[in-house]
Every structure is written in structure tokens, then in C-alpha cells.
Amino acid sequence: MRYGYFDDANREYVITTPETPSPWINYSGNQEFFSLISNTAGGYCFYKDARLRRITRYRYNNVPVDSGGRYFYIREENGEFWSPTWAPVRKKLDRYECRHGLGYTRIYGEKGDIGGEVLIFVPQDFNGEVHKVTISNKGSQTRNIRLFSFIEWCLWNAYDDMTNFQRNFSTGEVEIENNTIYHKTEYRERRNHYAFYSANTDVAGFDSDRYEFIGRYNGFDAPQAVVEGKSRNSVADGWSPIASHSFDIMLQPGEQKVIVFVLGYVENDPDDKWEAYNVINKKKAKKMIERFADPKQVDEALEELKQYWDGLLSRYVLDSSDEKLNRMVNIWNQYQCMVTFNMSRSASYFESGIGRGMGFRDSNQDILGFVHQIPHRARERILDLAATQLEDGGAYHQYQPLTKKGNNEIGGNFNDDPLWLILSTAAYIKETGDFNILEEMVPYDNDPSKAANLFDHLRRSFYHVVNNLGPHGLPLIGRADWNDCLNLNCFSTEPDESFQTTESKDGKVAESVLIAGMFVYIGNEYVRICENIGEYEEAKAAKEHIRKMKENILKYGYDGEWFLRAYNDFGEKVGSKENEEGKIFIETQGFCVMAGVGVETGEAQKALDSAWKYLDTEHGMVLVNPAYTRYHVELGEISSYPPGYKENAGIFCHNNPWIMCAETVLGRGDKAFELYRKICPAYREEISDVHRMEPYVYSQMIAGKDARRHGEAKNSWLTGTAAWNFVAISQFILGIKPDYHGLVIDPCIPKSWDGYRVTRYFRGAVYDITISNPNHVSKGIRSLTVDGKEFIGNVLPIFGDGKVHKVEVVMG
Ligand code: GLC
Ligand code: GLC
């Protein structure tokens, strides 16, 4: 069952019922101001940091769900009222449609003769949301309606706002001037920022105090002011400041009226904070309001946003006979990659924006997915991340985007972290050829006195593994590797301890075969970087460490039919046929084969065959099998989840693409694509009632076969799944791979495919690549021509001439 459809021409997903199985959301904002918008206008916005600069309130885990948003109420002559976005009034609409586009959302609701459209987006280079509301009269009578707007301010720090009521019920302050309500809580003291909500049309009334507007025991669905049809003109004084306008709108038959609202954020210079005693300086806000005084300006800004996306998405364009594949590759997967870049794992409907800031491993992996779109922002992100690295090569696990400083609360010691920095830097250099990034001076521990060049950071990342090997010569795991829930040094028996930060063992025994596989795969990139910049001795030494690691993986990290997952603190195998539960894990089967371990000697193929045999389901591959059914103190959080959920044998979509990539290493294109389809949201659209999350973006997890709700997704949007699936499909399956000195063509596809075409922008030229597969093979190139001339090899040169080059590839 579906709840909408893809409109590929407009790059929109069109939702046709407000009652989706879960709020289906979208994001807006590309630079510093960001918004989450559900299909019923729920959600919130923030400036840079979802925790520290939250602009509007949102209630996670509320009943009903999705509570808090940009709400509009249309009150008709007879006193009946409804919301054009369905929520919050939730009165049945005669027509409803939500169009989630790239960076904007348009929701239309119609009831009787009145139609209401709400367009919400963050314009480019603008610290605010614009709401364009169009009310139309479809009938033959003149209508007089009253429109109310509503948003609720968050008192900036989202955590404090939800917890510190003894203080913040007394701090709220606003100013009201004309059609604008200014939120200035704490501005008198240390804050130099405020927010505002304005309308371009004269108001009939306003409210800024929540109790006055809503009434003490009403809900958002029936605010007392709307019930009575009259704003209170309230001025908030403590409690909960809000912003609401009301308007009297007369509509002739067939007429429509547009009101533009701006919900903005302003930072003032501390020396220029006030325009009079305790009156905020509103100059910047007025400029922002002025910018969208006319609805035409809104349309232009939306057009500009669309062009921006045209540009970003023009860099990798697939033309195949599979429309689902085209829409994922050309639109939604790339879009999700940009969102994960902006958000890391901070703010979604599952991430509260309070907990985590930007993750070191997460953000490095996100770069793999969007680097081709905005390489200069990848560069900046790499340097920010590297600055949170520690002197021994380890890294802070997270940092706050506002301060860019590593979080002390969680610290470091996740031993996979440093390697991801090498991988993201390699991806960036391959995309751009910018080896100069390696010369950038970057602090350790955010301390400029401890700066060294980025290459030094990569070196320390590499040696962080080499210097932390365990009894089998495999990498020590630390608190955890990629799998945050495999906590081998934790041994926690207290329910309130964090699995991530509790360490009760010295960490000298437990080893990770995943980090070993990563070390081989990513270490090879390190070697290639060294060779490219003339660090030959270093390359040679690194190769030797990699060779030894490969040997140790095959000797101690292989279990006969698949790769082991780890050794625990007792030196016992994890992910072995000897274990009662948790016999085989997905991560090492993917990464070790991607790294080429056991490819020549057969272990690799056996490992992947075992993955299909033991991990595969109709909805993708589970993370581990059999699931843990009891708590294993020596394994940690993984065994805390009920079987089939999250890391305990959920289908963790992030590492399914590792298997896809690994399958292409073996040349098995059919298998790679079979798995791609299983977890790819567009192919799952038809089972939206089972999948339940948005059919246009990946979710972190789909419940595994041991779960009662097998096939149901969770934690949509913010997941490394986005980046890795884009890498898997665009580079490993469709086979267009940027490399240090050219663009490599190496497809690995289902045999039945006849061919496809990819237009790839790469270092200043466009490669128009047609791939045909007359002999129906999965891998291998029979001939290749560039601009009509025969070409030897499969590494296309860097043209950099701003021209389009035709590349014809015949497989066989
Ligand atoms: C979450 C985390 C990520 C981790 C994964 C597996 O998605 O954000 O860092 O690798 O879970 O535990
Ligand atoms: C929990 C989750 C895991 C996530 C981690 C982040 O362990 O299961 O997916 O990475 O929290 O803190």
C-alpha cells in the first residue's frame, strides 16, 4: 500500500493523505539555518545547532505525535475552523496534498469552498523560514474568513527548555511592533540573538502568550482564541512565549489572497544590541522582512533554490530503463546525502537534536556521499573533524557544530574513528585532485598550539591502529568500533550506565576484525596518498603493516566459512560458529571482502555466500544471526535490544551496501543489485504500510526476521546508509569511480541489463558515458572509446577543459 507517489519531473514526493504511518518529513536549509517539516507542517527550526540555538518548540514522543509546528487556522463565518495542513486541528479535509521537494514543502488543504496552501522553506543565504500562505475561494459566494497563525518559541537551549522550568517559566520576553513579534528571551543578559515572526499584511490582532492564545486546558487543535475568533493581543511575560497573528480576509468568488510570513533569526553585534533602553535593535530583522515583502520575491527565492539543486544534482545523472533506480540515484539518494552532511545524526524525528552533535565517524562517512556535489564544503568539514582529533591519533567521538569543539562528555576511544578520516580525505582528493589539503595546518584537540598538517593527522590515524594491536595482532576495539553496541570492554550491570562510555576493562584484549578489515581497505588509500606526494618510505612501511594485518585476518579472523567479528575481553571469539547465538555478523563479511582479503584464496566468496545463507531476508540482510536472546555482559548493548531490532539482528541498512560493494569485488553484479533493491526505499514504496517510514529516503534500520514487526523501518533520514548506498550504486555497481588521476570505469551490474548512461561532472569537464552490455555480462570491459577514439584501459583522463566528452563503453 502507498500513501502517495513520486513526481520525478518536479523532484517531489507527493503525499496524498495526512495520516501516514508516521510523520513523513522533509528538511529545508543548506547553510546555517535548518528546518524539519512534516507532511502536516509539524517540526521545528534552528540556527546551526539543534541543541544550543533551537528557535521553535517541538514535542518529541508526544501524544498525538508530531506536536509543534507552523500552524494555521482558518475560521469560517459560522465559527468552524480547520487547518489547511490538517494538523493541528485534524478536521477531515475534502482535499489534501503534501509535496515534499528539495528543500521545500508545499501543503494544500481544501474544505468546502475554501482552499489553503502553505509553502514552507528556508531561502538560500537566509537565516529564517518563509511561509507563503495562499487562501482561495473556490465557491460562488463572497467569503469572510479569519486566519490565525501560530508558532511557539523555544528558549534557545533545547535541553534547558525541556527541563529547567523553575527558571524558564520566568524568563520569557517579547517585543511587538506592527506585524512582527520579536522573541528576545535572555537578550538583556548574555545573548546577542533574537528571533521574530512577521507577516507582510496588517493584522487584526496578535498573541504572544501561549496561555492567552490557547487557553489553559485546550490543545493546539482548539486554541481558545480561535474558538472564539478573537486574538487577545497578549504580551508574554515569562511562561511560554509564542507568536500568533490574526487576519480578516474577504474573498470574492474565485479570488485568492497571499500572506507571507518570515520566521527569522538575527545575531547582533554586542556593541550595537539596542536601539533604545532595553529595546532590541531590529535593523537586521527589518531587512529580512523587507526581502520578502512581496510574494513575488518568495517565488523568486524558491526558483533560486530549485536552480541550486539543479546544479548539485547535475553532477551525477543516470539514465537507465529503471525509473525507480533513476529517481533514487538522481534525486533522493543525493538529496539525503546532503541532509546527512548538514545534520549528521543531530536532528530528525528520531534524533532529538539534543544528544549528539556531529559524530566523527558519521560525518566522515557522510562526506563519501556528497563530496561530488559540494567539494569545498567537504574540505571544510574534513578540517573541522581533523581539529577534534587527539594527539595520539584517536578522536573525540562527537563535536558540537556551534563551537566545533570535541564533546568531553563522550570523549574518544572508539578505535575505528581515526580511520574514517583517511577515507573521507581520500574521497575528497579523488574528487578534486586537491592534494594541497594535506598541507593545511590543523590543531589537535582544538588547540592551535598543537597544530600539524593534515597529512600528519592521517599518519597518526593510521598508526593509531598500528600502535593499538591486541594479542592476535588485530586492532584493539576500545569502547566500540563502527558497531556502537558491541561494547567489549564495558561489562555493565547497572541499568543507568551508558554502554558507550562505561569501561570496566583495561581494553588490552578485545579485538575487532572489522577495524582490521577497515585498516586494510582504508590503509591502502593511505598508501596511495603517500605515494602521490612522494612519501615513498612511509608508503613502504604502511604496506608492510597492511600485509601483516591481512595475514592476521586470515589466520585469526576467519572461522572456516566467514570472517569472525571480534575477540572479547576473555580472548574468546565473537561471531563464530562456536558461539551459541551471534554466530555470524555482516560487517566483517562486507569490509574484509571490499578490502580484498581472501579474494584470491576463496575465503571471500565463502564469506559472502554465508552472508546470503544466514543473514539474508526478503527485506535485506540482518546484522547478526542468530539474534541474541539474552543479555551478554561481555558483549554489551547489542544484546540489550530485543531480537530483530537495531544492532541485535535488525537489518541495519548502513552495512548492507558494504555487502553490495563486496559482491562487485567478486564480480557478482546480480547479487549486488538484488540487495540494493531490497533495502532501497523507492522499491519498498509499494509496501509502505509495512515499511512505514518515508519511501523517498533510507532509514537506519528495518526490523529483522526475529522481530514481530519484520520489515518495519525506523530512524529515517540521518544515517550513513545514505552515503554508503550512493557509493555502492554510483561507484561500485554503475561503476563510475573518481580516482586520484582520473575517472575509473568499472561497472558490475545484473547480467540482464542492456546498458545505461551516466553523465558525470568531474574536475572541470563532463563525461557523457554510455555503457552497453550486448553479451549480458556482469563485469568486464571489451572496448572503450573517448570522443570516438579507441581508448586503452579504463581510467579516463582529466580533461578539465569545460567540455563534454563522449565515452562509449562496451562490456563483455
Ligand atoms: C548509529 C551511529 C553510528 C554507528 C551505528 C552502528 O547509526 O550513528 O555511528 O556506526 O549506529 O552502531
Ligand atoms: C545506540 C544505538 C546506536 C547508536 C548509539 C549512538 O547504541 O543503538 O545505533 O549509534 O546509540 O550513541
CA nearest ligand 2 atom 3, residue? 484
Rounded to an integer, the average pLDDT of 653-671 is 98
Q: Above 80 in pLDDT, residue 500?
A: yes
DSSP 272: G
Q: Above 90 in pLDDT, residue 659?
A: yes
Q: Above 80 in pLDDT, residue 794?
A: yes
| Ligand 2 pocket check for 500: Cβ under 6 Å | yes
| Ligand 2 pocket check for 637: Cβ under 6 Å | yes
Instruction: Tell the residue number behind the cell numbers 535488525, with chain if given.
Output: 650
Rounded to an integer, the average pLDDT of 244-248 is 98
- How far, CA to CA in Å, does 508 sit from each of 469, 479, 634, 780? 8, 11, 14, 45
3-state secondary structure 360-426: HHHHHHHHHHHCCCCHHHHHHHHHHHHCCECCCCCECCEECCCCCCECCCCCCCECCHHHHHHHHHH
Ligand 1: centre distance to CA 723 (Å):
13
**Nearest by Cα to 332 from 715, 756, 725:** 725
Rounded to an integer, the average pLDDT of 353-372 is 93
User: Can you give the pLDDT at residue 410?
Assistant: 87
Q: Above 80 in pLDDT, residue 140?
A: yes
Active site residue 689: no
Ligand 1: centre distance to CA 360 (Å):
11
Rounded to an integer, the average pLDDT of 182-202 is 98
Rounded to an integer, what distance in angstroms lies between the CA atom of residue 786 and that of residue 762?
A: 15
In this prediction, what percent of the chain has a pLDDT beyond 70? 100
User: Can you give the pLDDT at residue 789?
Assistant: 98
Ligand 2: centre distance to CA 646 (Å):
9
| Ligand 2 pocket check for 647: Cβ under 6 Å | yes
CA nearest ligand 1 atom 10, residue? 482
pLDDT digits (tens, 9 = 90+) for 27-77: 999 899 999 999 999 999 999 999 999 999 999 999 999 999 999 999 999
pLDDT digits (tens, 9 = 90+) for 253-266: 999 999 999 999 99
DSSP 439: G
User: Is-contact 18 702, C-beta < 8 A?
Assistant: no
| Ligand 2 pocket check for 416: Cβ under 6 Å | no
| Ligand 2 pocket check for 351: Cβ under 6 Å | no
User: Can you give the pLDDT at residue 408?
Assistant: 87
User: Can you give the pLDDT at residue 343?
Assistant: 86
Rounded to an integer, the average pLDDT of 442-453 is 96
Q: Above 80 in pLDDT, residue 356?
A: no
CA nearest ligand 1 atom 6, residue? 483
Q: What phi, psi does 41 have (nearest 5°)? A: 70, 10
Q: What phi, psi does 605 have (nearest 5°)? A: -65, -40
| Ligand 2 pocket check for 691: Cβ under 6 Å | no
**Nearest by Cα to 118 from 145, 144, 99, 139:** 99
| Ligand 2 pocket check for 714: Cβ under 6 Å | no
User: Is-contact 673 746, C-beta < 8 A?
Assistant: no
In this prediction, what percent of the chain has a pLDDT beyond 90? 97
Mean pLDDT of all residues belonging to the chain: 97
pLDDT band at 564 (very low <50, low <70, confident <90, very high): very high
pLDDT digits (tens, 9 = 90+) for 770-787: 999 999 999 999 999 999
pLDDT digits (tens, 9 = 90+) for 700-710: 999 999 999 99
Instruction: Tell the residue number behind the cell numbers 562487485, with chain if given.
Output: 664
Q: Which of 244-253, 342-351, 533-542 has the lowest mean pLDDT?
A: 342-351
pLDDT band at 386 (very low <50, low <70, confident <90, very high): very high
Whether the ω angle into residue 747 lies within 30 degrees of 0, i.e. cis, is no
Q: Which of 131-145, 387-401, 574-588 has the lowest mean pLDDT?
A: 387-401
536 CB burial (10 A radius; 0-12, 13-18, 19+): exposed
User: Can you give the pLDDT at residue 401?
Assistant: 79
Rounded to an integer, the average pLDDT of 693-701 is 98
Ligand 2: centre distance to CA 238 (Å):
37
Ligand 1: centre distance to CA 652 (Å):
9
The catalytically annotated residue of 221, 484, 569, 616 is 484
- How far, CA to CA in Å, does 123 sit from each of 41, 753, 802? 17, 41, 29
pLDDT digits (tens, 9 = 90+) for 528-563: 999 999 999 999 999 999 999 999 999 999 999 999
Q: Which atom of ligand 2 is nearest to the CA of 410?
A: 12
